[in-house]
């Protein structure tokens, strides 16, 4: 009964243009969890217990939010459904700090991906190319996993209606283009049951859970990780790393910096340049560089002012 209500909810939302791939995956898991308890309707206690099974605080809230949205819809049809409150789980701290990979760490992660088994399979090539592409382009993992063959063009990658319902073209460096072309040639040779660029060992689209599980195994093999109490690496931090490196490469001069920020905003698919500036304040090394530059500028201004105020000799 609960699964039928979830399917009806997903169908209604998809009619409005939502893809809901992640929402469907999570709600199906919730339905299985609730069914094991004998629930036929949404129960606050069950929803919270299921959400708490996720590790990070942010993932717990994502789980609970999906149940809340579904429960609001379901309760309009059947008042026996309970609607949980998001306040039941703690918020993600606003002082979140991303993990910025060093060039050597990025290299080790990609190398370890190429060592995955089984021998002779497409799997090591898939993960090596996938993670190398994330480091090289700053794509969201969902965008890379959603790529189809028709999206790979001479001008770059066509990223279709993603997080903010926007479509954009992402140019590729010639080395990234060559690496992706080699993978696609091998991908065609080994076949598959779908036109997705990156596929699983069964020939279908990659699943987020398998990608994250493989990523954690690669981190361990590559000996990559933050010290206790420090940020721990995530897949999304490959995007943070790309953005930070791009900001570090910004040219001098106010006008040129503004143009660089606007170009990066468009490239990353942000709705506003403000979202791109977030990478500045979320990354202490960049903040220190900005502080040092401001201190130097202030010192120069003070010197000039002092000279201007001194009596003529």
Report, as residue numbers or ranges, the catalytic residues.
140, 163, 236, 239, 270, 279
- CA dist 37 → 34, 46, 50, 70 (Å): 5, 8, 11, 19
CA dihedral sign, ordered 113, 118, 120, 121: negative
CA dihedral sign, ordered 116, 121, 124, 130: negative
- Largest Cα separation within the chain, whole Å, is 93
C-alpha span between 146 and 197 (Å, rounded): 8
Using DSSP, state whether 74 is helix, strand or coil: helix
C-alpha span between 275 and 268 (Å, rounded): 10
C-alpha span between 217 and 123 (Å, rounded): 14
C-alpha span between 201 and 35 (Å, rounded): 30
CA dihedral sign, ordered 159, 163, 19, 136: positive
């Amino acid at each position: 009964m609960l699964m039928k209500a979830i399917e009806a909810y997903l169908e209604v939302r998809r009619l409005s243009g939502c893809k809901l791939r992640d929402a469907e995956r999570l709600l199906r898991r919730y339905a299985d969890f609730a069914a094991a308890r004998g629930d036929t309707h949404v129960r606050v206690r069950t929803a919270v217990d299921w959400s708490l099974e996720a590790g990070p605080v942010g993932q717990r809230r994502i789980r609970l939010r999906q149940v809340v949205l579904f429960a609001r819809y379901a309760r309009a049809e059947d008042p026996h459904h309970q609607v949980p409150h998001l306040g039941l789980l703690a918020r993600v701290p606003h002082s979140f700090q991303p993990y910025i990979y060093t060039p050597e760490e990025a290299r080790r992660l990609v190398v370890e991906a190429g060592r995955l088994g089984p021998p002779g399979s497409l799997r090591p090539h898939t993960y090596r190319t996938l993670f190398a592409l994330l480091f090289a382009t700053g794509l969201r993992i969902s965008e890379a996993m959603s790529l189809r063959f028709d999206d790979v063009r001479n001008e770059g990658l066509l990223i279709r209606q993603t997080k903010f319902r926007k479509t954009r073209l992402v140019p590729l460096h010639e080395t990234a283009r060559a690496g992706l072309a080699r993978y696609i040639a091998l991908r065609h040779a080994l076949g598959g049951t779908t036109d997705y660029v990156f596929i699983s060992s069964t020939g279908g689209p990659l699943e987020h859970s398998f990608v994250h599980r493989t990523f954690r195994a690669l981190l361990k093999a590559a000996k990559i990780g933050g010290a206790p109490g420090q940020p721990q690496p995530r897949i999304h931090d490959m995007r943070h790393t790309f953005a930070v490196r791009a900001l570090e490469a910004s040219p001098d001069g106010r006008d040129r910096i503004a143009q660089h920020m606007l170009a990066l905003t468009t490239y990353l698919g942000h709705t506003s340049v403000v979202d791109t500036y977030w990478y500045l304040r979320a990354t202490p090394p960049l903040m220190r560089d900005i502080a040092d530059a401001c201190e130097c500028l202030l010192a120069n201004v003070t010197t000039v002012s002092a000279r201007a105020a001194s009596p003529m000799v």
